[in-house]
A and B are shown apart, each in its own frame.
Chain A
Amino acid sequence: MMLRACPSATRPAACGRSSRSLVVVRASAEPTDSKNLEIMRKFSEQYAKRSNTYFCVDKSVTAVVIQGLAEHKDTLGAALCPCRHYDDKEAEATQGYWNCPCVPMRERKECHCMLFLTEDNDFAGREQTISMEEIKNGISGMR
């Protein structure tokens, strides 16, 4: 993930997209840069309030999705939706349709990640906040 901060002008070839895509494959084994995790946590709280949506009654679902968003932000530079399969993640992150908040969410409040749930959704809880501790607990024990 540090390759994006490529400092040296003497090895431009290694700083290109090809290097970054190598990092993508290892992301899941490493803890996310906690800065992006905090950024996505704050974003989720703010966006839930702004959109009048609520977190899942089971907060571990919320936690897992926020972790997924943070990880994509680390590896791709954008919070690409973690609940989708893509043929080309980098192209999708650049294109933007599935960058959180995705177009379906912005237009129709549809979030299949169950991160932002409308009040009438069976799985919606009553909370629009989630602490970092709740996130750590929710993702503990996972790869």
Chain B
Amino acid sequence: MALSSSQRCTTGAKVLKAQPVVRRVLPVLPATKPASSRRVAASAQKQQYSSFEDMLTRSDVPLLVDFYATWCGPCQMMTPVLGAMAARFQDRLRVVKIDTDRYPGVASKYRVQALPTIALFKGGNIVFRFEGVLNEAQLAERIQYHLGSSSGASAGTAE
């Protein structure tokens, strides 16, 4: 969902078409109604947890998670930045976007408040967390730090 006018965006982020590697949370959850109402059965919520937890525990690479909402303007600005991260880090990083209206249990569990919230999970724990918009250079630097690899991809291209 790239912004229609994202080319005018001043973050300096490169404009990318939506990359297939930027994925939403796996649609393995039951077709429960997006639980904005609190009437979703507890078991449905547990299933939501276990899918995300599953993904967290099973992922052998760090997970970059973008918590967003459809009508959050700044969240849309992150789309090309996330695509750039996926392209830059390839198999060393997994990029996931979570719609907090569809998966409120996950968002609440991690105390997500302002959107967008970017969180980097490593070994199932959050090692980096930011509320707001980051540009490519800022986010790549943080990810690179936590990936801790000496042979970084395209060693720190200045924006």
> Which A residues fall within an 8 A CB radius of B?
18, 21-22, 24-25, 28, 56-65, 67-69, 71, 82-85, 87-89, 112-115, 122-123, 137-138, 140-143
Contact = CB atoms under 8 A, between A and B. Distances in A.
Nearest to A134: B5
B127 interface: no
Contacts of B123: none
Contacts of B69: 68, 82-85
Contact of A112 (B6, B108, B112, B131): B131
Interface stretch (B42-50, B71-79, B144-152): B71-79
Contact of A62 (B33, B72, B73, B113): B73
Q: Give the interface SS of chain B, mostly helix, strand, loop or mixed.
A: loop
A7 B67 CA distance: 39
19 contacts: A21-B39, A24-B37, A57-B8, A58-B3, A58-B5, A58-B9, A58-B77, A61-B73, A68-B71, A82-B73, A83-B69, A83-B74, A84-B113, A85-B104, A85-B107, A89-B36, A123-B11, A137-B4, A141-B1
Given A58-B6, A84-B115, A142-B1, A25 B33 contact: yes
Interface of B: 1, 3-6, 8-11, 33-39, 67, 69-77, 100-101, 104, 107-108, 112-117, 131-133
Given A64-B72, A84-B113, 7 more contacts: A28-B101, A83-B73, A84-B69, A84-B115, A85-B107, A85-B115, A123-B11
